Structure 1
Amino acid sequence: MTGSRPVRVSGIGARLSDELPPGMVNYGQLQVTFADGSVGWYEAGWGPMMSEEAFFVKDVVGPKGSVTIVAGKGAQEGNSADVDGHTGAQALKVHHSALGADGKFSRPDQLVPTETDPGHDGLCEREQVYFEKAIRENLDLTAHLDDAVNSMRIVAAADQSFREGRTINL
């Protein structure tokens, strides 16, 4: 969101079921600090102990505000195992953090409808179409590659942080 590079990662994990092999966890959370001071977090878990409500909390937050995926039908009770339930949305809620001279928000939150929500398979198809376009039109995918590599570095550092009990500098 800010284009800043990740510099530090902390992670936690928990083995919440005796059915898992030793050393495996089914709940994890990470925090990442970026060079510009921005922070981000991600939380994931699976299994029968997970909340039917919490599995769909999906926000991104940056210095200028946040975007929240407003849950659609996929996030209704009993649908946490449905793959499309993790990608479906009714709308995007955009929150702007800028304040006016009076200390109040200078812009109201915006609700952006997503009537044409593609679902999990549709998202995969969009990725494939864009990848084909990149090949045919020789598009520069450097930023996409950097983001993918950084996401893997963050996840690996979060696992290391959890297992070693310390923050990892990238």
Structure 2
Amino acid sequence: MSLHRRPVRVPALTALAAVLALAGCTPGGAQARVDPPPAPPADVAGFCAALHGRLPEKVAGLARTPTDPESDLTAAWGGSAIVLRCGIPKPAEMADPKQEGVHVNGVAWLLEELPDDAGGGFRFTTGMRLAYTQVRVDKEHATDAGMLVGLSTAVAETVPEGISSY
């Protein structure tokens, strides 16, 4: 008798587990844990707040996700698939002339491939702007820099060109 019940129970439990897992992934229900950078100077924080208000609702087809803790210095899309941090201190990698970069919609981005032991993917950091903005993209969504189009537009509209002293 238990042989007849087990096939029914296992699929039922599997289906229940799948429904519960999907419920955690529904838009608006998920949050991405994103640590804001250390408190930047007031002018940099102001640029970041303006950027936060102009960020696209979708990046690479992924919906914007609330961040935990909530901050004008952070944003995320698709859970933690794409994570943005604004107002970071100048990365040491900016001084390396061998680093690669891309220009998208008038915004220069430093391009760094992340090692597999760090989760893989890519990290893009704006250059020549008065606030440094960093975007980390997981391996699955790091197929091309096209996902930077909407982000670059928002950066170009809100963070003035220049060299940040922070």
- Give the structure-2-normalised TM-score: 0.23
Structure with larger Rg? 2
